[in-house]
Amino acid sequence: MPEITYREALNQALAEEMERDDSVFIVGEEVAQYQGAYKVTQGLLQKFGPQRVIDAPISETGFTGLSVGAAMVGLRPIVEVMTFNFSLVAFDQIINNAAKMRHMSGGQLKVPMVIRGPNGAAHQLAATHSQALESMYAHVPGLKVVLPGTPRDAKGLLKSSIRDDNPVIFMESEVMYGMKGEVPEGEYTIPLGVSDVKRQGKDVTIVAYSKMLGAALSAAEELAKEGIEAEIVDPMTIRPLDDQTIIESVKKTNRCVVVTDSWPFASAGSEIAYRVSSKAFDYLDSPVELVSSEDVPMPYSKTLEHNVLPTPEKIIAAARRSLYRK
DSSP symbols for 189-202: ---TT--EEEE--S
Q: What is the CA radius of gyration of the chain?
A: 20
Q: Is 60 a catalytic residue?
A: yes
Considering the candidates 17, 29, 60, 271, report the single residue annotated as catalytic: 60
- Judged by phi (left if over 0) then psi (alpha if -120 to 50, else beta), residue 146 lies in beta
62 Cα distance to chain centroid:
24
Considering the candidates 8, 17, 29, 129, report the single residue annotated as catalytic: 129
Residue type at 280 in one-letter notation: A
C-alpha pair distances (Å), 67 with each of 167, 182, 219, 242, 300: 11, 33, 41, 29, 34
C-alpha pair distances (Å), 265 with each of 132, 135, 234, 317: 12, 10, 21, 21
Q: Is 129 a catalytic residue?
A: yes
Q: Which residues does residue 5 pair with via DSSP β-bridges, in sequence order? A: 180
Q: Which residues are catalytic?
A: 60, 129
